Amino acid sequence: MNGSDFNKKIAFVTGASGGMGLRIARDLATAGAAVTLFDLKPAPEGFDASPGSARFVQGDLTDEASVARALAEIVTIHGRLDYLVNAAGVLWFDRDRSLLDIDLEVWDQVLAVNLKSVVHTVRHAVPAMRLAGGGAMVHFSSIQCLRGDDHPQDAYQASKAGIVALSKSIAIQFAAEGIRSNVIFPGPTLSPMQARWEGREDVQAQVAARVPLGRIGTTRDMADACLFLLSDAASFITGTGLVVDGGITAMP
């Protein structure tokens, strides 16, 4: 991957107040991209965008008008958009459960945040990418949508599966315009979404023991995969998914 791939490129990253989104935004900015970070939570502290530039927009991904304004501002400032990263998502262990038991209001909320938000970002990113003559999108799914679970979070899994189908449709719809769309399937990753593991070395060791490579993933692992799919090194890759799980889904 050429280190100059991202110099002077324009990126929009959701879920960027922490975790994978923040790591991706930081790496893009460090590589010279101008990055807009978007999140419902407040701006992250101590964000260093050098040598690129960064701006933070606080907004609600489930509100299409909020997303539309943020992307319109990018076009006003930069004249185009090159990259879209959908890294936002919720996993509510205490409320998301089997479809037999889940409160359907929770179901609707999870799908709104995890899946409908992708509709909002893409429908306003595509016109901005057309101004650039093309672009690349990466959407974060999960290996959980590739398998069942005896401790189900059915709304989460259904929403993450929907992202995969949507990404394939996006890839085919806009391929002729030079717009690519791909998905990353993260495995267990140390991030704010898994705050329940913090300070629990025993639990982390148990999780790592189930990973063939013998460790839990990091936000760096996910950012590296994401920047590859955005880069020119992946210029012939679209409509597919990259599993980043240390080998878990390769096991029988």
Task: Tell which CATH classification among 3.40.50.12660, 2.40.30.10, 3.30.1130.10, 3.40.50.720 matches the domain 10-247.
Answer: 3.40.50.720
The answer to whether the beta carbons of residues 1 and 26 sit under 8 Å apart is: no
Instruction: Note the pLDDT tens digit of each residue in 70-108.
Output: 999 999 999 999 999 999 999 998 899 999 999 999 999
pLDDT score of 1: 64
Which residues are registered as beta bridge partners of 6? none
Q: Which of residues 192 and 180 earns the better pLDDT score?
A: 180
pLDDT score of 66: 98
pLDDT score of 51: 62
pLDDT score of 46: 75
Mean pLDDT of 120-143: 98
Overall size of the chain counted in residues: 252
Mean pLDDT of 3-11: 87
The answer to whether the beta carbons of residues 244 and 251 sit under 8 Å apart is: no
pLDDT score of 209: 87
Which residues are registered as beta bridge partners of 53? 34
Range ranked top by mean pLDDT from 3-12, 48-57, 153-162? 153-162
pLDDT score of 198: 64
Q: Taking Cα atoms as reference points, which of 68, 113, 58 lies closest to residue 88?
A: 113
pLDDT confidence band for 150 (50 / 70 / 90): confident
Mean pLDDT of 178-193: 90
d(CA 203, CA 118): 32
Q: Taking Cα atoms as reference points, which of 76, 159, 173 lies closest to residue 118?
A: 159
Ranges of each domain in the chain: 10-247
Instruction: Note the pLDDT tens digit of each residue in 13-68.
Output: 999 999 999 999 999 999 999 999 999 999 988 776 556 789 999 999 999 999 99
The answer to whether the beta carbons of residues 241 and 183 sit under 8 Å apart is: yes
Q: Is 156 a catalytic residue?
A: yes
86, two tokens:
């959908």
Under DSSP, the state recorded for 234 is G
d(CA 50, CA 65): 30
Which residues are registered as beta bridge partners of 175? none
pLDDT score of 206: 85
Instruction: Note the pLDDT tens digit of each residue in 109-126.
Output: 999 999 999 999 999 999
Mean pLDDT for all residues in the chain = 92
Select which of 12, 83, 140, 156 is catalytic: 156
pLDDT at residue 200 tops 70 = no
Mean pLDDT of 147-176: 95
Assign 3-state DSSP to the chain and report helix, strand, coil percentages, each to 5. 45, 15, 35
